[in-house]
Amino acid sequence: MMTYSHDFIPFSIKNQPEGRVIQAVLEAALQAVDPRRAVEQYLQRIGQTLTVAGQGYSLAEYRRVFLVGVGKASVAMAQAVAAILGDSLYKGVIITKNLPEEMPSELGRVEVCRGSHPIPTEESLRSTQRVLDLLEEVEPADLVLCVFSGGGSPLLTRPVQGASLKEIQQLTSELLTCGATIQEMNAIRKHLDQVKGGKLLKAVHGARVITLILSDVIGNPLEIVASGPTVPDPSTFADALRVIQKFDLESRVPVSIQSILQKGVDGHLEETLKPGDPVFNRTQTVLVGSNYQAAQAAAAEASAHGLQALLLTTYLRGEARQTGDMLAALARQIEATNQPLARPACIIAGGETTVTLRGNGRGGRNQEVALGAVEGMAGLKNTCLVTLATDGEDGPTDAAGALVSGSTLRRAQGMGLDALDYLRRNDAYHFFEQIGDLLKTGPTGTNVNDLNFIFAL
Amino acid sequence: MMTYSHDFIPFSIKNQPEGRVIQAVLEAALQAVDPRRAVEQYLQRIGQTLTVAGQGYSLAEYRRVFLVGVGKASVAMAQAVAAILGDSLYKGVIITKNLPEEMPSELGRVEVCRGSHPIPTEESLRSTQRVLDLLEEVEPADLVLCVFSGGGSPLLTRPVQGASLKEIQQLTSELLTCGATIQEMNAIRKHLDQVKGGKLLKAVHGARVITLILSDVIGNPLEIVASGPTVPDPSTFADALRVIQKFDLESRVPVSIQSILQKGVDGHLEETLKPGDPVFNRTQTVLVGSNYQAAQAAAAEASAHGLQALLLTTYLRGEARQTGDMLAALARQIEATNQPLARPACIIAGGETTVTLRGNGRGGRNQEVALGAVEGMAGLKNTCLVTLATDGEDGPTDAAGALVSGSTLRRAQGMGLDALDYLRRNDAYHFFEQIGDLLKTGPTGTNVNDLNFIFAL
């Protein structure tokens, strides 16, 4: 069903029995958050009744059904919705980052547009206009189904009056590198945009709105995924301005942007839509997939293969290399005393780490987690750490992650590669490329953030 | 038996049932590595037979028994050895950092000297001379018992010819702040000292040597604790010089020091004693206590109180604040899904973190782990993270660690304290002092590094 390459297990373990177990566990994780399956779990149709997470809607009561989708998984999510709705789907527009090579036939009535990620461009603006053009047609008696997934914020973008695209681009690029959390980043984005922070609801003319969310954010705060176009926003203009101050961005963010936020603080601009706003009486929002579901499925698959499995956390964050070293500390304890689990064991830890750029190498946070674990894993037997960006795209590379085993350091030394030096230059991609231990799934069509797996077999 | 304050549980939980459980678990950890108990587990005497980790020695075969001890736990370790040996102990000298207020009566035949930590001083040199004076008396037919524990390297110090104390002090202070590991630091120390890296054996005139080690080093490499005065040393002059280069210390470490190391590399100086040296045929070395034993005992005590217990690792390292945030990520998962353990639960993670100093506040690595967890723990119910330096001395403070609960952030905000600001200034001590959640055990007399406990009750 999913279109990624199933031939992603690195060469070094591919033809070994453990390679097959590892492949099975990783595939189970990805399949569990296949956007299509995720949607189908929460959206069913029997005759004229559409059931959304247990709540029933009679399609006969609605004039038409519209579909809006944004995010890296929107093609697959839209495909599932279109298949379920069949002829009842009137029209739709979705915005995604990667267009599929072959457009799924279910999407005949759905226009598929492209936007830019992580910095919005004119393309994002044009595609957003297509969404708004569609919603122009919506009437109060219609039903609007929304599917939102990770990466949506720069895809669905319509700056407020007074903020130019160029200014938003400059702002975004500062926010991406200053160390702000996604919550902090989105507090600002929402207050400079006409369709984020619940404000897309202003364009639906009072129609009922059902939103399905595939979350790529730690802890699954629904208002954060794709900047919550249809979800109540607790953040304020004051919060947004505080983020600028917290990261000392006053001199790096355009003055016009800051003065918009200040005008908002002074009460001269409309806030985002807040919890309790009556508009939300006509909305339902459902989390259909998350890092946790993927991690759980991986644990179940590991158990099915006779491994002891432990879901450690889905809240990992912090510096990537440190996370790698910490995971290696767990692997070492298994080797030393069979704790926290006896072999054969699999520990699963999900979340989203960050990389503080020091060098100008190539890599992504998942590859850097792996590189950060090379020294700590050295010498361990039948043990490896596998890192995986569930969207298949780790940083600006064609890899999803990498594999580190107890022999990685030795093999690297044999090839004259200094792991520490590659780490210093944030060049994990070239390290693992030469070792032959990159994971290359290609774009998976889903996006529930990152997963790390310790296998002690 | 141990002399620390048993009244160390912070005020905020002291009179609550969970306070008693937490106190019991922490005490179990400390008691398990009570140096006296640790020694007694591996050293027994029945009649004239001394049994050391299963190996028997007939005291009748040895003319006299000498005792040498170095490290933060040497008083308690020496006390145990003296009690076991009774009249068979001829004489001893030990060097410690903190002299007990009242000298244990068993130490009548043992001279207790003081040295300086973490930078050696004249006092360390004088005390080291006392050890060497004692060993002057030793003859081949004698038995020398050594007890080494953490913090020993600067206490037992005798620079090689050509290196002055002042130069060693300058070097040590550079090594302590450059980010070098203890392995790297000790590779240098051993090659600039006459009694480290096995070289103390040169002073025992061929007598048999038994060494008992209480380890404060991750993974318990015996040659690292107290710089292994009686243990084979795999490191070389070349390794030592490489550390200087790796951390760009060429301009900050005295030239004379570097030229000594270079002379060694060129083969003009004697190496440390290497594995396989016949001198080690007359030595036995036993690990009597470590972080793992403390962690295991804590897990057992938690189980006895009806908690699910998980020993996560004893290999934790890395930046303290990140470690705190990572431990909070585990606590969040327990709250969300009862994973990796169902409540009531206790997760134990041992090791040694590092603090990269940014500000000039007061604190220690254990307090900084706790401060780094404040935001991640916020809002969790009946959950806390407790950090503990097992020696009772976390950094240059009178606290052993701190407690963070789900309410810490809220309470801090109520008092106008900005946790992030205290973290930025490395001022964990003053944060937790005001909150009232410092742990103050006083010096415990033991030292097996650090322990972190997540309690979800």
What pLDDT tens digit does each residue of chain B (457 aa) get? 466 777 777 766 776 778 899 999 999 999 999 999 999 999 999 999 999 999 999 999 999 999 999 999 999 999 999 999 999 999 999 999 988 888 888 899 999 999 999 999 999 999 999 999 999 999 999 999 999 999 999 999 999 999 999 999 999 999 988 888 899 999 999 999 999 999 999 999 999 999 999 999 999 999 999 999 999 999 999 999 999 999 999 999 999 999 999 999 999 999 999 999 999 999 999 999 999 999 999 999 999 999 999 999 999 999 999 999 999 999 999 999 999 999 999 999 999 999 988 889 999 999 999 999 999 999 999 999 999 999 999 999 999 999 999 999 999 999 999 999 999 999 999 999 999 999 999 989 899 999 999 999 9
The secondary structure element, H or E, covering residue A388 is strand A383-389
Q: In this complex, which of B322, B336, B340 lies closest to A319 when CB atoms are compared?
A: B322
Is B20 inside any structural domain?
Answer: yes
Nearest CA in chain A to B334: A313
Is A121 inside any structural domain?
Answer: yes
User: Would you report the helix, strand and coil content of chain A in percent, each value rounded to 5?
Assistant: 40, 20, 40
Q: β-strands B143-149, B208-214: how paired?
A: parallel
CA distance A372 to B296: 28
Is B296 inside any structural domain?
Answer: yes
CA distance A130 to A125: 9
Q: Is B248 on the interface with A (CB under 8 A)?
A: no
Same domain, A117 and A145: yes
Residue A182: CA atoms inside 13 Å, Cβ hemisphere, count?
27
pLDDT, mean of residues A196-201: 98
Is A117 inside any structural domain?
Answer: yes
Q: Is A337 on the interface with B (CB under 8 A)?
A: yes
**Three-state secondary structure call for residue B441:** coil
CB contact under 8 A, B292 and A336: yes
Same domain, B381 and B447: yes
B197–chain A nearest CA distance, Å: 24
Same domain, A280 and A323: no
At residue A375, the pLDDT reads 96
Counted domains in chain A: 2
Q: Is B47 exposed, middle or buried (0-12, 13-18, 19+ CB in 10 A)?
A: exposed
Same domain, A212 and A126: yes
Find the radius of gyration of the CA atoms of chain A.
23
Across A294-371, the runs of DSSP E, i.e. the strands, are 308-316, 345-351
Kindly state the tokens that stand for A454: 């310790």
The one-letter amino acid code at B251 reads S
Contact between residue A172 and residue A165 where contact means Cβ atoms under 8 Å apart: no
Q: β-strands B401-405, B55-58: how paired?
A: unpaired
Same domain, A278 and A361: no
Q: Closest Cα partner for A397 from A359, A349, A441, A434?
A: A441
Q: Could you tell me the end-to-end alpha-carbon distance of chain B, in angstroms, rounded to an integer?
A: 30
Same domain, A320 and A432: yes
Q: Show residues of chain B in contact with A333, CB under 8 Å.
A: 311-315
**CATH number of the CATH domain containing B197:** 3.40.50.10180
Tens-place pLDDT, residues A74-83: 999 999 999 9
CA A235 to each of CA A209, A231, A248, A413, A419: distance values in angstroms, whole numbers, following the listed order: 22, 12, 20, 50, 42
User: Residues, chain B, total?
Assistant: 457
The secondary structure element, H or E, covering residue A110 is strand A110-114
Q: Show residues of chain A in contact with B421, CB under 8 Å.
A: none
Contact between residue B309 and residue B346 where contact means Cβ atoms under 8 Å apart: yes
Same domain, B124 and B149: yes
**CATH number of the CATH domain containing A369:** 3.40.1480.10
Same domain, B224 and B105: yes
DSSP string, A86-105: GGGEEEEEEEESS--SS--G
Of A259, A289, A319, the residue that ends a domain is A289
Same domain, A221 and A366: no
Q: What is the pTM of this model?
A: 0.89
CB contact under 8 A, B319 and A322: yes
Q: Which residues pair with A287 in a beta bridge?
A: A213
A210–chain B nearest CA distance, Å: 25
Contact between residue A65 and residue A41 where contact means Cβ atoms under 8 Å apart: no
Is A354 inside any structural domain?
Answer: yes
CA B267 to each of CA A202, B237, B254: distance values in angstroms, whole numbers, following the listed order: 81, 9, 21
Same domain, A210 and A89: yes
Is A2 inside any structural domain?
Answer: no
Of A256, A289, A322, the residue that ends a domain is A289
Sign of the dihedral defined by the CA atoms of residues A327, A330, A336, A338, in that order: negative
Q: Show residues of chain A in contact with B309, CB under 8 Å.
A: none
Is B449 inside any structural domain?
Answer: yes
Q: β-strands A383-389, A450-456: how paired?
A: antiparallel
Is A110 inside any structural domain?
Answer: yes
Q: Show residues of chain B in contact with A320, CB under 8 Å.
A: none
At residue B456, the pLDDT reads 97
CA distance A30 to A295: 9
CA distance A255 to A445: 38
Domain limits for position A326: 11-33+291-456
At residue A2, the pLDDT reads 60
DSSP code, position B59:
G
Same domain, B335 and B440: yes
Same domain, B283 and B392: no
User: In chain A, what's the furthest Cα-to-Cα distance?
Assistant: 70
Q: β-strands A55-58, A49-52: how paired?
A: antiparallel
